[in-house]
């Protein structure tokens, strides 16, 4: 027997006119609504309040607290909320776009499309994590591609904000989430680790690529708990045309132990933005799941493991930054040596950081060839001279007529935390829009360190890291 709808078309609540029911879920309904002072229509979500469904109420409370704090295109814009004393609801932007759920009937998807989805959702997660929010229910039905190609996550009812009470954890003693996508630590009721969202994204990409869920659809806690020590069958066993780099990235997301996954969504994004540079490990060539003996060792390690304490999201972000070294080869060997020395120092101090080595060349004209490849080879050699692990660095050659804008755009789109830049950029220093270093230092939305050419007999002089003033 199905529940009667909470509303009917034509109903009015706090000025919202109900048009049609968009979704009827187990915990809530979502309606398309209009309001005289508002265009276009919005989405209104209301919980199904039954005697035994307190979780629906708490879930809406969490969403009412979290959604107003979010900004940017990767989450729906908050509009209004209703008091629980009358009729609880939350009204938000009705995102115009395509849900990934609509692609399920067309699985498996082409490799390039899966990779593009991975980049888009990783960027959305990096943005949310940067706003102190863990989504904790990443799955196809909660992912929407906007008309402009930007991916957004919806349904923050199971989410957690680092600076707000976690009501779901405080009031219930069961794991919350969607069983096929739930990370191992969530099974253990740890809702504090951003790598849980990375695991769920790995499940989603595996499903889109192979048409199969890596852990099936468990119906009991025992079945759910197997992912704590069992890894899935590798994608290439089901999809032979899966390139090694994509299997490497997906299985890296799906590691049973969170410590072995990507350290952050931004680091996953950086890999998927340059897949040819992904450092391949034994994961890339696997055709079978790990042996029974390996799984048994994980099981015993889990039994003997110390108590898992909640993660500090701010501390994790501080320990896993994306550092960008803006390399200008026209500044001479002395300049690149100063930059190399400082980059090595920063990376040594933060072992879990990732370094993006970036240089800018003038946009190539029709008929010109080879410039991009030559500079990429030169940049990779410069990166190799840092003597860092291969998986810790990537090289990126940007073609642009405005170097400063190109560097700023790259930093924003890949969620760079710290930019290292020589104080003068001879190749472009007299551009019409102002010196490159000055524009980057004053417009970047992350920390910037300006480096200077060393004086004779002196060490390299650097400025203190300074916060950008915003674009």
The whole-number pLDDT of residue 244 equals: 98
C-beta contacts of 211-218 below 8 A and 24+ residues apart:
211/107, 211/108, 211/238, 212/238, 213/180, 214/254, 215/180, 216/180, 217/179, 217/180, 218/179, 218/180
The whole-number pLDDT of residue 313 equals: 84
CATH assignment, 321-467: 3.40.50.620
CATH assignment, 99-316: 1.10.510.10
The whole-number pLDDT of residue 456 equals: 56
Domain ranges of the chain: 12-93, 99-316, 321-467
Which residues, at least 6 apart from 113, have a Cβ–Cβ distance to it below 8 Å? 208
Average pLDDT for runs of 10 along the chain of length 471: 81 96 89 95 90 78 96 97 90 96 96 98 97 97 97 96 91 86 94 96 98 94 92 96 98 95 97 95 95 91 76 86 93 85 94 95 68 91 93 93 93 96 62 70 94 61 36 24
CATH class of the domain comprising 12-93: alpha beta
The whole-number pLDDT of residue 436 equals: 87
The whole-number pLDDT of residue 452 equals: 82
The whole-number pLDDT of residue 429 equals: 47
């Amino acid at each position: 027997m199905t529940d009667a709808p909470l509303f009917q078309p034509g109903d009015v609540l706090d000025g919202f006119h109900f048009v049609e029911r968009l979704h009827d879920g187990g915990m809530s309904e979502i309606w398309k609504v209009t309001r005289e002072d508002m265009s276009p229509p919005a989405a209104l979500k209301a919980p199904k309040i039954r005697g035994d469904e307190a979780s629906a109420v708490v879930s809406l409370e969490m969403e009412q607290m979290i959604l107003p704090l979010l900004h940017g295109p990767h989450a729906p814009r908050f509009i209004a909320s209703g008091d629980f004393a009358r009729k609880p609801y939350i009204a938000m932007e009705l995102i115009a776009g395509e849900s990934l759920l609509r692609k399920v009937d067309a699985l498996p998807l082409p490799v390039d499309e899966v990779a593009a989805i991975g980049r888009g959702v990783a960027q959305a997660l990096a943005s949310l994590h940067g706003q102190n929010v863990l989504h904790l229910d990443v799955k196809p039905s909660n992912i929407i591609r906007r008309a402009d190609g930007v991916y957004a996550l919806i349904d923050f009812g199971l989410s957690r904000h680092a600076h707000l009470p976690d009501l779901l954890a405080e009031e219930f003693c069961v794991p919350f989430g969607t069983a096929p996508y739930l990370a191992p630590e969530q099974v253990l009721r740890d809702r504090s680790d951003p790598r849980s969202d990375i695991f769920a994204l790995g499940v989603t990409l595996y499903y889109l690529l192979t048409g199969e869920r890596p852990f099936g659809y468990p119906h009991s806690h025992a079945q759910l708990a197997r992912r704590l020590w069992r890894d899935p069958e590798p994608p290439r066993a089901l999809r032979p045309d899966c390139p090694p780099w994509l299997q490497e990235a997906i299985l890296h997301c799906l590691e049973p132990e969170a410590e072995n996954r990507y350290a952050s969504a931004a680091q996953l994004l950086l890999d998927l933005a340059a897949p040819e540079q992904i450092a391949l490990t034994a994961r890339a060539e696997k055709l079978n799941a790990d042996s029974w003996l390996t799984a048994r060792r994980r099981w015993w390690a889990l039994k003997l493991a110390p108590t898992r304490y909640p993660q500090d999201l701010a501390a994790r972000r501080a320990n896993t930054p994306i550092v960008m070294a803006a390399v200008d080869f026209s500044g001479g060997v002395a300049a690149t040596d100063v930059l190399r020395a400082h980059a090595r120092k920063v990376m040594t101090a933060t072992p879990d950081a990732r370094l993006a080595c970036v240089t800018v060349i003038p946009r190539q004209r029709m008929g010109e060839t080879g410039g991009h490849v030559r500079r990429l080879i030169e940049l990779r050699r410069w990166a190799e001279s840092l003597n860092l692990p291969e998986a810790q660095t990537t090289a990126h050659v940007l073609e642009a007529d405005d170097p400063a804008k190109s560097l700023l755009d790259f930093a924003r789109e890949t969620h760079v935390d710290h930019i290292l830049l020589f104080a003068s950029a001879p190749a472009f220093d007299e551009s019409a829009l102002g010196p490159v270093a000055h524009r980057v230092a004053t417009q970047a939305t992350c920390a910037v360190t300006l480096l200077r050419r060393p004086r004779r007999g002196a060490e390299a002089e650097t400025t203190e890291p300074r916060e950008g003033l915003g674009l």
